[in-house]
Chain A
Amino acid sequence: MIRFENVSVTYDGETTPILRNIDLELFEGEMVLVVGRTGSGKTTFLQTINGLMPHFTGGTLSGRVTIDDRDTQTNPPRELADLVGVVAQDPARGFVADTVEEELAFGMECLGLAPEVMRRRVEETLDLLGLNDLRYRPLMTLSAGQQQRVAIGAVLTSHPKVLVLDEPTSALDPGAAEEILAALQRLVHDLGITVVMAEHRLERVVQYVDRVIVVPGNAAPLIVGTPQEVMRTAPIAPPVVELGRVAGWNPLPLSVRDARRVAGPLRTLLIDQIPPVRSNESTQDSEVLSEAQQLTIQYGQHTALKAVSLAIRSGEVVALMGRNGAGKSTLLNAMVGLRFASSGSITTHGKDPRTLKGVELLNSVGLVPQSPGDLLEATSVGDECKAADRDANVESGTTRALLDLLAPEIDHATHPRDLSEGQRLLLALVIVLAARPPLLLLDEPTRGLDYPTKIRLVDALRNLALAGHAIILATHDVELAAEVATRVIVLAEGEVVADGPTADVVVASPMFAPQIAKVMAPYPWLTVTDVVNTIGPLILRSHAPISGDALT
């Protein structure tokens, strides 16, 4: 279906290629996962499939890329539109029309299909992706998951044989992500479409795919293989795979189901062990940094928060979880004075956050918003750091020094818009940290982050908590919560439905439990590190063959 013959790709103005000597064939009805860190050339790889690289981006492509025997050299992207459907990273940015139905038809209009055909395909696609209720809705009013489904539907109406997706689930909550993946599964199985997707959230997708392509970066050769083969040695892997690797399970489990089947002996072994507790006992009596009492926030008809009462103490790392639209962002915004209480009260640092302004605000609380780029106004990283020093009224050079700790590779002269998503987040984080706010809030910090950046973020958060900061993370990322959180608060429809130590809350929840907790249930183990630290890899390995035999 897709054939790369000795393909190398070089951007204009660059001397070395970003991808080199790729020889690869992808088959009909295959679901392929492309992984690699930001800047590795992963997106470029996807763009070569429909010829956006080099027709749209400029640059040089040597070798040959053919899709269903059509060469991208002679077929620019628009001529391949009936063959390759592309869904970019932020689907809302690629919408052309203003309502769902018209968006679904746009591609077909460009292809010049007959009106009856268009009508039929729109109806089919609405059904296939469960969009019928939304057909007349303006695209802007849709949730992120709905937008993602519309974006997929909009390319499916052209009946492509190949579907290329760049991070289709990274912005979604676990439920919405499951829906998208189920829809993709259906396309592969029922329609024989070849799906190529890039995704950082390996734990969500790796069990569904037929092959994995690792783009290592620096034009090193691609690593291609079945998920089992690739995951055995891959530097990054979902927790369940890591557990399998340290336990020496064979075949390597890719899903919770696979792992549960072989994890029996391990569970028995750990039955008497007590998992390390990320308790907040030590923080029981520490200073209260923010407190909400019967906090209710409404806009118009919509009640975003209903009678929420909670207190955040220094040293705590709180994961705020819940569906998109459950009120997580509203709560964070209320703590920094961007939203105000309709009834009840909220205090930050003992004051009404709405009265906090300027340096006083910066010294009490910092929020890194969902799109961290919003914080950045200057035209270079250096200027941005200087501005942050001035805003926070701290010694000049403070922000840059912090940045050097977290991301020393970011150059002074770079335009903040040219940074990768992860780098932008880290820059926004240090800008907020410049004033050393005791309370640090992060809204969806791991969206679009690759693993190495995520590890850096986790380390930074741990150190901040040790230094006595309180941190609240609004996040969908259950693995992140399992890694760092001491406490989890679950919101649903604006109400607190669960609030307690991480293990107590997540182990019981099918939606918010990390993979390890699901494998080890009913015992409250959350991360591979916990398991490994408790029994040590040696003991694990000695038990591994038993479980492996039990399986076969």
Chain B
Amino acid sequence: MKAAFQIGNNASTRWLHPGAWWVWALGLATAASRTLNPLLLVLIIVVAALVVHARKPDAPWARSFIFFVKLGIAIIVIRVMVQVLFGAAIGETTLFNLPSVTLPEWMAGVRLGGPVTLESILMAFYDGLRLATIIICIGAANSLASPSRLLKSVPAALYEIGVSVVVALTFTPKLVADVSRVQAARHLRGRVTRGPRAIAGAAMPVLEGALEGSITLAAAMDSRGYGRRNDMGVKAQRTTSTLLAVGLIAACIGTYGLVAATSPMLLSAPMLIIGVGASLVAITRSAQSAVRTRYRPDPWWIPEWLVAIAGIFIAGTFIISMWISPLAMETQVDPAMWPALPLLPLIGLVIAATPVLTAPPIPRTYGESPHITPQPFEVAA
């Protein structure tokens, strides 16, 4: 049993910084958002799946990739169904005819059914595939990046909230265990243990126990020095407040600029981004008054750079291809044409798959957020 928990001291196995996985996955997603070429989209999914397969840890959250793939398939199916049901037909190649129904006036007189063409289905399929690919890339990040490690890397300003999320993550499986214990206790009192009434009966003792536990936890945190901070100078505080106020006002103006008619370019998106940036600087500054350090933060070494750059690289190649050969990136549907396979995005795809090699293999054990499979009716170990 003990050996199963030993982490090999082998330096080549370690956890990649979760931030690197997110940069890589978002790069893939950005690339996907730039194209309607089904071949490229499918290849992006293949790359994501390869890397997930190679570097996915054995933890409950890591199984979410499959869930995201299913979600992606559902998106495609729904998109095509919507097209078949509601879509105005484009193109000439009619596949079949659906009986046509017009909804009543209060439903805006939408017309359902009618002729279904190959062209419109292809268009819907490509469109759905693109959104599905973006979703699947995000699923890859969910599977590869450990949430508890991500929390270790939250910026200092969000440390406290990070702690409460860690508490939430560790408490959730405890609660599940508590529920089965209380269910067992209900059995001991000769009460029903299944059905909504049992759940309701078990809910209160579990909730009360958890809330009581939270006070004990708070006392322990307080006794261990949580929340120590130095006094910030009055002047520094004033600067921070001003920066925050200016930033937030700028963000509001920028937002207004986005939706208002004909506002000067500078007053919209750039203003919003500057405003948000200033607010972030403000909270980072005020977080500096806390005395806190990090124990063994996840390092950002060469493999992290390689993985992150692979993601940025593929996004770059797709964006550039969009400029230089937009036709190859947007597959023509009317008339339907076989998609092209442009070279530059292909190079991008190959690079994007490199984390299979460059990311270090993960340790074969769990140094991971706890997960338990509660025994039914666990009264005690």
Binding site for B on A (CB under 8 A): 50, 52, 55-56, 76-79, 81-82, 84-86, 88, 90, 93-99, 101-102, 105-115, 118-119, 122, 133-134, 136-141, 143, 154-155, 158, 299, 324-325, 329, 332-333, 336-339, 357-359, 361-362, 366-367, 369-371, 373-377, 388, 391-392, 417, 431-432, 435, 443-444
Contact = CB atoms under 8 A, between A and B. Distances in A.
Contacts of B226: 78, 96, 110
B364 to A, nearest CB: 12
A254 to B, nearest CB: 31
Contacts of B209: 373
B287 to A, nearest CB: 13
A53 to B, nearest CB: 10
B225 A369 contact: no
Given A50-B223, A77-B223, A110 B189 contact: no
Q: Counting chain A CB atoms within 10 Å of each CB, which of B167, B186, B216 scores highest? A: B216
Given A96-B220, A369-B185, A112 B166 contact: no
A374 B181 contact: yes
B379 A369 contact: yes
Interface stretch (B260-268, B288-296, B306-314): B288-296
B220 A336 contact: no
User: What 6 A-B pairs are tightest by C-beta distance, nearest first?
Assistant: A94-B220, A81-B225, A138-B370, A105-B295, A112-B291, A110-B225
Contacts of B187: 336-338, 361
Interface in B276-309: 291-297
Given A93-B213, A377-B205, A111 B291 contact: yes
B170 A140 contact: yes
Contacts of B292: 109-110, 112
Given A375-B189, A377-B205, A119 B375 contact: no
A333 B367 contact: no
Given A105-B296, A417-B212, A112 B222 contact: no
Nearest to A82: B225
A115 to B, nearest CB: 6
25 contacts: A56-B218, A56-B222, A79-B228, A88-B216, A96-B163, A96-B167, A96-B221, A98-B148, A110-B224, A110-B226, A110-B228, A110-B292, A113-B293, A115-B297, A138-B370, A140-B170, A329-B381, A338-B187, A339-B377, A361-B190, A362-B189, A374-B185, A377-B201, A391-B189, A391-B191
B27 to A, nearest CB: 30
Nearest to B193: A357
Contacts of B369: 98, 138
A362 B296 contact: no
Contacts of B222: 52, 55-56, 76-78
Contacts of A81: 223-225, 228
Contacts of A443: 379-380
A336 B186 CA distance: 12
Interface string B139-182: 00000000010000000000000010011011001100000011
For this complex, into which size category does the number of interface residues on chain B fall? 35 or more
A376 B170 contact: no
Nearest to A81: B225
Nearest to B375: A299
A97 B381 CA distance: 22
A112 B156 CA distance: 12
Given A96-B220, A357-B190, 6 more contacts: A81-B228, A86-B224, A93-B213, A96-B217, A101-B296, A324-B381
Nearest to A114: B293
B227 interface: yes
Contact of A336 (B2, B188, B294, B366): B188
B223 A118 contact: no
Given A115-B294, A136-B367, A391 B224 contact: no
A140 B378 CA distance: 14
Contacts of A417: 208, 212
